[in-house]
Amino acid sequence: MTTRVVIIGNGMAGARLQEELHRLDPMGAQVTSVVIGDEPNAAYNRILMSNVVAGRIRPADTMIRAAGWYAERNLETHTGVRVTSIDRDARRVHCDDGTVHHYDRLVFATGSRAFIPPIDGAITETGAPIPGVIAFRNLADCEAIVSALQEDTRVVVVGGGLLGLEAARGALLRGAQVTVVHPRAYPMEKQMDAAGGAVLSRVLREIGMDVVLGTRVTAVRDTPGSGREVVLADGSTLGADLVIVTAGIAPNIELAAEADIATERGILVDDQLRTSDRAVFAIGECAQHRDIVYGLVQPGWEMAETVAQNLLTREPTGYEGTQQILRLKAHDIDLASMGEVDTDPSDLEAEVLTLSDPHRGRYAKVVVRKERLVGAVLLGNPEVVGTITQLFDSGAPVPTDRMTLLLGHLTGGATESASPAQMPGEAIICRCNTVSKKNLTDAWRKGARNPLAMAEATRATTGCGSCESVVEGLCEWLATADA
Ligand SMILES: Cc1cc2nc3c(=O)[nH]c(=O)nc-3n(C[C@H](O)[C@H](O)[C@H](O)COP(=O)(O)OP(=O)(O)OC[C@H]3O[C@@H](n4cnc5c(N)ncnc54)[C@H](O)[C@@H]3O)c2cc1C
């Protein structure tokens, strides 16, 4: 008897779970999986949408697998179909196309939707944004943004977090006039401290963005003759042909709550990713694990791998959480942030080092506790990001002279661009897929002799793609060192 697993959501976590089940059990001897997703297209890499807005790739380039990949492997996927209710007693899900699917195990991978703050005139009676107001979450939103963007389009981005800044940078690259409106004193306040935020604001303005801080967009309205405008909290207005809303996300938990599965901010799960119903799991952005609801892909992919393992083995493994490192993927702005970033310099338990070079758009801060690096903000310092993330990940003791952490390139420390020979085997090269240098060198020894083959063997580079140059460097190094 095979176990029938129904996965709700054909996003990054749901599609990865199906792929992982297939990888571990290619003949479907133990498990058959069915993915039901309400988006019309096959699974795509949501992270790459910012590159589509920036004009670097086309929407089709975001597809995770080539057309036909799932069908060729007999993987059942229903796209454009929404699960509307769950009958847990009968173990069935009901869909909006009238279909009903039986399950032995059910997995919620319903992700999040864009949160739209209260803005008068922005929402129709059905709750959808009016034309010209787009919440940036899915490929349809991305395509709508791209088709609305032209030279000199007046764009207002509501929210200066990671998504807002990536969308704003992309729109600027297409020649639009862009204003970011953010309610706090500086952008990305969850990942930056005030001093770093001030340097970031300066960098954004220098590349041509208007950044309006400490206020909110309260209304969107048509103006006779000149299109549309947004109204700010102080009553001032900004002309806006296009309003992109990137004001946060809300996990999709309603379907679970209606089925009486325990939810708080997300769907509550234990270390095996089981919900309050032992036959039902939740992974990705809809799950709340150890009180954390994640907003990045790496945790969702790790959760998918844990569930796949557990569905196929009698010895379950546990998911223990993911150390989050955030990197902004915007042309000309290199920003990495991890762990504690807003520690008070007078905190006697912590060592806080900062280096500020606003003129050149650079800022670096590291926080050390008990000889371990527990937080960092690195703006405009790509050369030290590799060393700092390795120390953050591994919990290894930091150098006696802490200053070398900030000045890695001057003192000969291992850096992102330094020889791969210097990296320890456990250094994580691809964060999205949690692939270490050792995983890559093992793949090399098994015959993966170029970045493409390494991606096929380990999945490195297939997330946000920011590790591509490191994987290329590693291949070049191995070609000479391990010929
Ligand atoms: C523009 C952008 C840039 C990003 N950049 C980064 C980045 O650089 N690094 C990073 O780590 N993360 C990034 N993220 C976040 C990352 O994309 C998410 O963490 C990831 O997609 C979460 O995967 P998920 O499967 O949980 O949710 P999703 O990928 O959102 O998938 C959930 C799917 O379930 C579907 N669904 C919901 N309810 C139902 C239902 N009832 N029936 C059927 N289907 C349903 C949804 O429509 C959706 O298709 C970015 C996100 C965006 C939008």
User: What are the tens digits of pLDDT across the range 247-270?
Assistant: 999 999 999 999 999 999 999 999
Spacing of C-alpha 102 from chain mean position: 31
Nearest to 204 by CA among 75, 379, 344: 379
Q: Quick one: pLDDT at residue 345?
A: 79
Name the phi and psi angles at 439, rounded to 5: -55, -40
Host H or E run for residue 384: helix 382-394
Does ligand 1 have an atom closer than 6 angstroms to the CB of 46?
Answer: yes
Give the per-residue pLDDT at 171.
Answer: 96
Domains of the chain, start order: 3-113+250-312 (3.50.50.60), 133-246 (3.50.50.60), 332-418 (3.30.390.30), 419-483 (1.10.10.1100)
Ligand 1 mean position to 11 CA, how many Å?
Answer: 6
104: which 2 tokens?
């032995």
**Cβ 384 vs Cβ 378: under 8 Å:** yes
**In sequence order, what E strands does 348-437 have?**
350-357, 362-369, 372-379, 428-430, 435-436
Report the candidate in 180, 188, 247 with the shortest Cα–Cα distance to residue 210: 180
| Chain position carrying tokens 């549309």 | 228
DSSP secondary-structure letter at 43? P
* CA 417 to centroid of ligand 1, rounded, Å: 31
Q: How many CB atoms lie within 10 A of CB 195?
A: 15
**Is the separation of the CB atoms in 212 and 222 below 8 Å?**
no
Q: Is the CB of 10 under 6 A from ligand 1?
A: yes
The answer to whether 77 and 18 are in contact (CB under 8 A) is yes
Q: Return the DSSP state at 399.
A: P
405, two tokens: 């952490």
Q: CA 38: distance to chain centroid?
A: 20
Q: How far apart are CA 332 and CA 423, in angstroms?
A: 26
Distances (CA, A) of 424 to 19, 133, 210, 405, 450: 30, 47, 42, 17, 21
Asked whether 77 lines ligand 1 (CB < 6 A), one says: no
The amino acid that residue 282 corresponds to is A
pLDDT of residue 94: 98
Distance 50 CA to ligand 1 centre (A): 13
Q: In the prediction, which pLDDT does 314 show? A: 76
Place of tokens 């003949």: 27
What SS3 class is residue 69?
helix
Give the residue ranges of the chain where pLDDT is below 50: 410-417
Residue 412: predicted pLDDT: 43
pLDDT at 409: 53
CB 12 within 8 A of CB 297: yes
Distances in Å between the alpha carbon of 90 and those of 77, 84, 87, 263? 22, 15, 6, 21
Strand partners, 436: 428
- Pull the structure tokens for residue 222: 């048509």
Q: Is 434 in the pocket of ligand 1 (CB under 6 A)?
A: no
Token output for 102: 């039986």
C-beta of 466 in contact with ligand 1 (< 6 A): no
**CA–CA separation, 96 and 94 (whole Å):** 7
> Which phi and psi angles does 416 have, rounded to 5°?
-60, -35
Q: From the CB of 324, is ligand 1 less than 6 Å away? A: no
The first and second tokens of residue 291, run together, are 């009180």
State the pairing for strand pair 76-79/31-37. Answer: parallel
**Does the C-beta of 39 come closer than 6 Å to ligand 1?**
yes
Q: What number of other Cβ atoms are within 10 A of residue 290's Cβ?
A: 10
DSSP code at position 128? P
Decide: 379 and 200 in contact? Cβ < 8 Å: yes
